[in-house]
C-alpha cells in the first residue's frame, strides 16, 4: 500500500511544495516577521524532512520537537490557520488531489496544540 508520501510524489514533490509555501510566507506580512531571523535554506530542509516523516516517508527529521521549536513566538490560531492555508494552496499549485491535500492537512493539524504551545 502506498503511503501519503508516495501519493504526493515523494521527496521532489515535498521540496516543491515547501518552496511554494516559503514564497507565500515571504509575501504575507502577518507571517514573514516571525521568520526574520531564520535561515530559510536550513528551514526548508528541516520542513521537508519533517513533512516526509509525518507523511510516512523516510524518517529523516533530526530537528527540535514542535513545542520547543515554536516556544516563545506567541503563536495564535490565526497564524496556524494562515500557514495551513498557504500549505494547502501550495499543494494545489503542485497539482495534488484534494483528497491527498486534506489528508496532509489533517496530519499537520494534529500538531496544532504543540505548535501553538497551547
Residue (38 or 98) nearer to ligand HEM, CB: 38
Nearest distance from C-beta of residue 110 to ligand HEM, angstroms: 10
Q: 6: which 3 cell numbers?
A: 508516495
CA separation for the pair 78, 81 (Å, rounded)? 5
Contact pattern for ligand HEM over residues 21 through 60, marking x by CB under 6 A: ----------x--xx--x----x--xx--x----------
Question: Do residues 66 and 117 touch, judged by C-beta distance below 8 A?
Answer: no
Q: 11: which 3 cell numbers?
A: 521527496
Local structure of 94: helix, strand or coil: coil
Residue (7 or 44) nearer to ligand HEM, CB: 44
Question: Do residues 55 and 17 touch, judged by C-beta distance below 8 A?
Answer: no
Question: Do residues 21 and 35 touch, judged by C-beta distance below 8 A?
Answer: no
Tell me if 64 contacts ligand HEM by CB under 6 A. yes
Binding residues: 46, 70
Residues near ligand HEM (CB under 6 A) are: 31, 34-35, 38, 43, 46-47, 50, 63-64, 69-70, 75, 79-80, 83-84, 108, 111, 115
Amino acid at each position: 500500500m502506498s503511503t501519503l508520501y508516495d501519493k504526493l510524489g515523494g521527496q521532489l514533490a515535498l521540496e516543491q511544495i515547501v518552496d511554494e509555501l516559503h514564497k507565500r510566507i515571504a509575501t504575507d506580512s502577518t507571517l514573514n516577521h516571525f521568520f526574520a531571523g531564520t535561515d530559510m535554506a536550513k528551514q526548508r530542509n528541516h520542513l521537508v524532512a519533517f513533512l516526509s516523516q509525518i507523511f510516512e516517508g523516510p524518517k529523516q527529521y533530526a530537528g527540535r520537537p514542535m513545542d520547543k521549536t515554536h516556544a516563545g513566538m506567541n503563536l495564535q490560531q490565526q497564524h496556524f490557520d494562515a500557514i495551513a492555508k498557504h500549505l494547502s494552496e501550495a499543494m494545489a499549485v503542485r497539482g495534488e488531489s484534494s483528497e491527498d491535500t486534506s489528508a496532509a492537512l489533517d496530519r499537520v493539524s494534529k500538531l496544532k496544540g504543540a505548535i501553538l504551545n497551547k
